[in-house]
């Protein structure tokens, strides 16, 4: 059975593609969801983050204030690297466990690992093939500002913090262009589906 890594830059439409694959029967392991799990209240990773950044990054209920931490991290490369050194090893451990567990099952046509930082953290070694969701830069900026309520500068800052899209495309096995209407994106996924399932047989 094939493990497909789905990646792409911020607001490119990774989740749209993953949801469509899930609708067809794929099981999706979401790295962002794993990231939330590893910093849940009471985890060793959260304890280390509080030691590094102070208790002001916690909400009143003791959970991580992701928005506040995000603002601190996106503005400073060194701070982001320090946070990554805590979180990414935990995500790696959890994702490998989950993916390998799913691989043993015989009732799944495809396993999807949706990971925005697939290449950046070397997680492509956890998957068999990689699909990159690409998007036109102007459209990406517009969607990111609308989705996250960001200013133009704030959105550009987040876009600039990522690996250039072309570098990801150069390393991809499959590319889906999500610059246009959703219907066009889903049509591309439709064409890919049978190829992905037959590769995993």
What's this model's pTM, rounded to 2 decimal places?
A: 0.91
**DSSP-assigned beta bridge partners for residue 114:** 6, 30
59 Ramachandran zone, left/alpha/beta (phi>0; psi -120 to 50): beta
- Can you list the domains of the chain with their CATH numbers? 3-199 (3.40.50.300)
pLDDT in tens, 115-129: 999 999 999 999 999
Identify the band that residue 5 occupies on the pLDDT scale cut at 50, 70 and 90. Answer: very high
Q: Is the pLDDT of residue 71 over 90?
A: no
Identify the band that residue 148 occupies on the pLDDT scale cut at 50, 70 and 90. Answer: very high
Q: Please give the structure tokens belonging to residue 59.
A: 């909400």
Lowest mean pLDDT among 54-68, 84-98, 100-114, 131-145: 54-68
């Amino acid at each position: 059975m094939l493990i497909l890594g789905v990646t792409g830059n911020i607001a490119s439409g990774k989740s749209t593609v993953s949801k469509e694959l899930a609708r067809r029967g794929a099981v999706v392991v979401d790295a962002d969801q794993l990231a939330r799990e590893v910093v849940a209240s009471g985890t060793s990773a959260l304890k280390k983050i509080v030691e590094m950044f102070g208790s002001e990054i916690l909400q009143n209920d003791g959970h991580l204030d992701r928005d506040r931490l995000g603002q601190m991290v996106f503005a400073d490369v060194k701070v982001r690297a320090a946070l990554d050194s805590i979180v990414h090893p935990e995500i790696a451990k959890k994702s490998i466990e989950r993916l390998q567990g799913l691989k043993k099952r015989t009732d799944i046509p495809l396993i999807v690992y949706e990971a925005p930082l697939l290449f950046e953290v070397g997680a492509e070694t956890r998957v068999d093939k990689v699909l990159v969701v690409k998007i036109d830069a102007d459209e990406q900026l517009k969607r990111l500002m609308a989705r996250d309520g960001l200013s133009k500068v704030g959105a550009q800052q987040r876009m600039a913090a990522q690996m250039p899209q072309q570098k990801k495309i150069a390393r991809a096995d499959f590319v889906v262009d999500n610059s246009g209407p959703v219907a066009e994106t889903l049509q591309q996924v439709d064409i890919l589906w049978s190829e992905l399932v037959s590769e995993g047989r």
